[in-house]
A = this chain, B = another copy of it.
């Protein structure tokens, strides 16, 4: 073989020496961390209740379900899709789990109930995914229809009534603690770690980014685009289902309207955490941080006793500031 000539890239800048940065640990495109730290600091200074164990425990419980749903949403967003059905899936899986344990007496039913609820979430997600991947329908429409259908099914199953009381064994899932930390928080951390690992280190994870970057190029490179898409929607549904089970367990009720409006919050968490709705940008940890930031704003508002109307405005402004700062930061980094 001929010796290829070396190509020299002209230009004054040599590649910078590789120093380990936070970005390496968290993956490219994590934002929100500075904002989070700032917010937490401000709250710690402004109130004497923020940094108490009870409040942090409360905050963790409040955020966990949103974060789990947001992480599922993130997967879909990474493929340049969107999943509007997650809020309704939360309701659906919640009442399915509640209905199963409600009618049960045996303890094993809790496991069955959870599995059935998760399955329901995954099936709704997989159907969304099939319509998007195979029939090439716009994700927005498919999942908007899914939103209506899943909510309608939830109301039908329950006749519009709340399913309760639920047995203590079921309520213990969300209510219990392990090693002194609420189960909800553990579950959130496990989900975040698992998805973060899968995205950063597995072949499937790279495929997800590839599909979101350019589906056609990915296809030509041999990426199984359709299975990847279906898997992503199915997992989003599965995690929304998990969120639903946890919510039902936390509330001790299968409430048919629960989860309403969660879809926008989940998407917002992803975008605040640095995801792009055009795909291929974003990380699981970013989505988690995004959910925590939104949770913190709500928690802080109550702790400070802010008028709810003003709080609504303040949260809007803070989201703008958070994302705006992030944007400036990124631009400065790009120019440096």
Q: What 0/1 readout, one digit per residue, does chain A (125-147) give for beta carbons within 8 Å of chain B?
A: 00000010001111011101111
Does A41 sit at the interface, judged by CB under 8 A? no
- Contact between chains at A147 and B316 (CB < 8 Å): yes
Q: Is A142 touching B320 in the complex (CB atoms < 8 A)? A: yes
Beyond A264-B84, A309-B156, is A148–B278 a contact (Cβ under 8 Å)?
no
A82 to B264, CA, bound (A): 13
Closest 10 CB pairs of A and B: A152-B312, A148-B316, A152-B313, A149-B316, A145-B316, A155-B309, A145-B320, A145-B319, A156-B309, A141-B323
Residues of A with Cβ closer than 8 Å to B?
Answer: 82, 84, 131, 135-138, 140-142, 144-149, 151-153, 155-156, 160, 264, 267-268, 271-272, 276-278, 308-317, 319-320, 323-324, 327-328, 331
Contact A272 B141 (CB under 8 A): yes
- A323: which B residues are within 8 A, CB to CB? 137-138, 141
**Cβ-closest chain B residue relative to A160:** B309
CB distance from A302 to the nearest CB of B (A): 15
- Taking A152-B309, A277-B138, A320-B131 as contacts, is the C-beta distance between A144 and B315 under 8 angstroms? no
A313 and B268 contact, Cβ closer than 8 Å, known pairs A277-B140, A278-B278, A324-B135: no
Given contacts A131-B320, A152-B309, A152-B313, 12 further A-B contacts (CB under 8 A): A82-B277, A131-B324, A135-B324, A138-B271, A138-B277, A138-B323, A144-B316, A144-B319, A145-B320, A148-B313, A155-B308, A278-B278
**Copy number in this complex?**
2
Find out whether the CB atom of B271 lies under 8 angstroms from the CB atom of A320: no
Find chain B residues with CB under 8 A from A156 CB: 309-310, 313
A331 proximity list for chain B (CB < 8 A): 136
B271 and A153 contact, CB distance less than 8 A: no
Q: Which of A84, A147, A320 is packed against the most chain B CB atoms within 10 Å?
A: A320
Give the shortest distance, in Å, between A88 (CB) and chain B (any CB): 10
| Complex Cα spacing A227 to B110, Å | 58
